[in-house]
Chain A
């Protein structure tokens, strides 16, 4: 047998023994699922040392479990209420009694047919039929997104940028408010200039482009800080699970 698998089985056996013996720590969890969670957490963390059998075990388990999880979720939360219940409501009487009383909506035969066309991709003779379903999805989402991007990402952002640069509060000039609004207006313009490559970034245009990259760097720094701290929060969460839920060392 391969050496890495021997180590893996030994590790699982060791963990199982610790569970059975309760490790002599009174506060340690007796819940088998908590132990499984702790084992998998440690297995993933072991990657910090190097790629190993424990990590691969957890990684492969994750792929299988998450595929089945989303399959079941998709079936029960989307397919049953949005297709099966619409086509033949009495069939879902046991699981969704509120919907079971409604009249059937035969319009839903169309997405059902398109969905089946999608599965034709598996057919060796006519996989091209699946393109019809794909075309419906692409066309619909494109049409919906065209309006959405136009309204919120383009016009909405321009509208929010057209703000007064002199801010008056309670009858007097607000220096802080005015400064912030100037930074917003100038920042948006300079940011756009930085991404405008049809003119050489020289002279005043070059200065504006330079200001644009400063503003962008501040944004990237803020996003980077947020990302790092989000990961740290997750790490803290896992440590709390290991030390608290599993080992019972935290109150």
Chain B
């Protein structure tokens, strides 16, 4: 029962949501709209699980690892402050402390972490993409041409702009289409396997 009922739920839901597309009606629309809404609601109700897991892990780290205690405390402090400032609906309006913390704590850290990748990606690219073969040279050359188009000062010339436009809309598009067809086939096969209960790793272990 523990494993069979979920498999039947997946089978029924999967078939219903495939069929609703092929039979357009008010009922299908109802099923489609409510199905999407319900998945979102259930997903959000699962958020406390993640928060519980985070709090438990951080607390245990603070208790068991004295060296990490200070940083675990910093994490919990940030969590508490943000939760307290976001307790009211008005907190989501521009100018509230909650949104200010989002803008001056969350955004700077996130944007800077991603911008750090500019340094690492450059050094990794130097090691990985040296023009040692034709295909490596093609990759390097294309990347160089595209980067010249995207410098903050704007494209360096009309030729460069036209060339990048062509690269993106023709060979780039061709390869992406090939990849998308492959991804589509793989995803369809996986969906069918899940609906039929052949793929059941999402159930975990007993």
- Cβ contact within 8 Å between A215 and B171: yes
Interface residues of A in 145-187 (CB under 8 A from B): 145-147, 149-150, 152-154, 157-158, 160-161, 180, 183-187
A233 — which chain B residues lie within 8 A by C-beta? 150, 152
- Which among B17, B75, B187 is the interface contact of A61 at CB below 8 angstroms? B75
Q: Does A23 contact B (CB under 8 A)?
A: no
B92 — which chain A residues lie within 8 A by C-beta? 72-73, 76-77
Q: Which residue of A lies closest to B111 (CB)?
A: A234
- Cβ contact within 8 Å between A154 and B113: no
Mark each residue of chain A from 213 to 244: 1 if its CB lies under 8 Å from any CB of chain B, else 0: 11111111110111111011111111001000
Mark each residue of chain B from 109 to 153: 1 if its CB lies under 8 Å from any CB of chain A, else 0: 111111111110110010001000011101111111111001110
What is the CA–CA distance of A231 and B78 in the complex, to the nearest angstrom? 26
Say whether, besides A64-B78, A68-B78, A192-B181, A228 and B125 are in contact (CB < 8 Å): yes
Given A56-B71, A69-B86, A232-B118, 9 other A-B residues pairs in contact with their CB atoms under 8 A: A60-B75, A108-B38, A111-B38, A115-B45, A118-B42, A132-B9, A143-B15, A146-B192, A221-B143
A224 — which chain B residues lie within 8 A by C-beta? 125, 129, 139, 143
Q: What residues make up the interface of B, taking CB atoms closer than 8 Å to A?
A: 2-3, 5-7, 9-18, 21, 32, 34-52, 54, 58, 67, 70-72, 74-83, 86-87, 89, 91-92, 98, 100-119, 121-122, 125, 129, 134-136, 138-147, 150-152, 166-185, 187-188, 191-192, 194-195, 202-204, 206
B168 — which chain A residues lie within 8 A by C-beta? 222
Q: Does A74 contact B (CB under 8 A)?
A: yes
- Cβ contact within 8 Å between A145 and B187: yes
Q: What DSSP secondary structure best describes chain A's contact surface?
A: helix
- Cβ contact within 8 Å between B38 and A62: no
Q: Which residue of B lies closest to A213 (CB)?
A: B135
- Cβ contact within 8 Å between B47 and A111: no
A212 — which chain B residues lie within 8 A by C-beta? 178
A134 — which chain B residues lie within 8 A by C-beta? 6, 202-203
B75 — which chain A residues lie within 8 A by C-beta? 60-61, 63-64
- Which among B104, B112, B179 is the interface contact of A34 at CB below 8 angstroms? B104
- Cβ contact within 8 Å between A219 and B176: yes
